[in-house]
Amino acid sequence: MIIVGKKRGRTGVSAAVALRLALLAFVLAAWVPVTNAVEVTSLYTVEVALDPDDPDAQSNAYRAALTEVLVRVTGTTAAADSEELAILFPNPARYVRQYRPGPDDTLIVSLDGPTIERNLRQAGATVWGSDRPLTIIWLAVDWGLGDREIVAAGDPDRAAGDGRSIDRNSLWRERVQAVATTRGLPIVFPLLDAEDLQSIGFIDIWGGFDDPLLEASARYGADSILVGRIRPNEMQPPRWTWYFGEQRFGWPGEPEEAINQLADALAARDAIRGDAESEVIELTISGIDSVVAYGRVQQYMENLRIVNKLAIRSAQPNRITYEIELQGGAERLNNVLSLSNILERADDYFVDPDSMRMSRSPVSGSQSLEYRYRRPAAPPPANGLDPFQDVNPER
């Protein structure tokens, strides 16, 4: 067994294979791009109001900062009113690492994340890690009388006199982004550039035409898609549809409500109790058909922050089996791997290329998982050659 994480152990594969894997991981890590869920690096830095007329302004700002951080990290707004957490963190100033003045009577406070997480885990509270799915938001606004628009990531060039539309666009973005920031939720709006506009129009979003919308979202690397439809001048509440993997959910509500519901749903899926026991999972990844594939898979696995220990149990020319220790077991690992852009869950049946026999993939909930390497799509090179083909196989 080869330990590729923080610990080391005895080797259970040939020295040649072990050396090759180690060298591949080292060399390819410098240039092979691998994406996963977004790491939210600012979970423990918040901007809070600072009342200049309040004699306890700084202490109150510390308390507000800690409260917002607890909401982000536990994954629930109930943390803001939790008496148990108030008892667990009686002195917010103790967790302040840095602070500095912000704009418009605010204070930017950075808190001690590792200590806060450790206290939460010891108390058995839920903890939502920093690796979180990226959500793209398609928001269609119908102002009436044919005045319609899609909220973009930035304000596109418009004709003179259209400033009002730009202001409205910014307002919707700011309302959504404010709640997403409070909840520690990574989001992105579409660019609405020529590529987007070739495949998506207002009617696609408003009419719920799923396929072009999902296809247009692929370029952003988002793991979840939230679609909003708003008529500001009517009593009808905005309608929201959330796509995550093969699942589809819908609910009504203002943008603030929608983002809170989205955060609640993602946290319920990914947050784990601090007292959850560590479990050992066997993960087999098949379809590794090239040197590049080995490097991509190895780099991806080593970068999984949910993993406590990672070891190579066996390696073959076309598949690799890992032994993984983590909290939350197979369900949590499966949730994280489902966000990968280089792996896909194996079918119920797969052909073992060594024995050429058909085997059943492990069922959901077992302590073994079977995934398959997903070869990335690559544009044809200028010379017309397949970039994965050896141009001189005799060599």
119 has a pLDDT exceeding 80: yes
Q: Is the pLDDT of residue 183 over 90?
A: yes
Domains of the chain, first to last: 2-38+273-373 (no CATH), 44-128 (no CATH), 132-256 (3.40.50)
Q: What is the mean pLDDT of residues 147-174?
A: 72
Structure tokens at 147: 């005045």
Work out the end-to-end distance of the chain between its first and last CA atoms, rounded to an integer number of angstroms.
Answer: 33
The pLDDT mean for the chain works out to 80
At 280-308, the pLDDT tens digits run 999 999 999 888 899 999 988 987 767 88
pLDDT in tens, 59-80: 999 999 999 999 999 999 999 9
SS3 content of the chain, % helix, strand, coil (to 5): 35, 25, 40
As a whole number, mean pLDDT of residues 191-217 equals 91
Report the pLDDT averaged over residues 257-267.
94
Q: 385 CB contacts (<8 Å, ≥6 apart)?
A: 391
Specify burial of residue 269 (Cβ count, 10 A radius: 0-12, 13-18, 19+): middle
- Percent of the chain whose predicted confidence (pLDDT) is above 90: 49
Q: What is the pLDDT of residue 38?
A: 79
3-state secondary structure of 357: coil
Q: What is the pLDDT of residue 166?
A: 61
Q: Which two tokens stand for residue 58?
A: 């700084």
Whether 179 and 172 have beta carbons less than 8 Å apart is answered as no
pLDDT for position 37: 66
d(CA 324, CA 346): 18
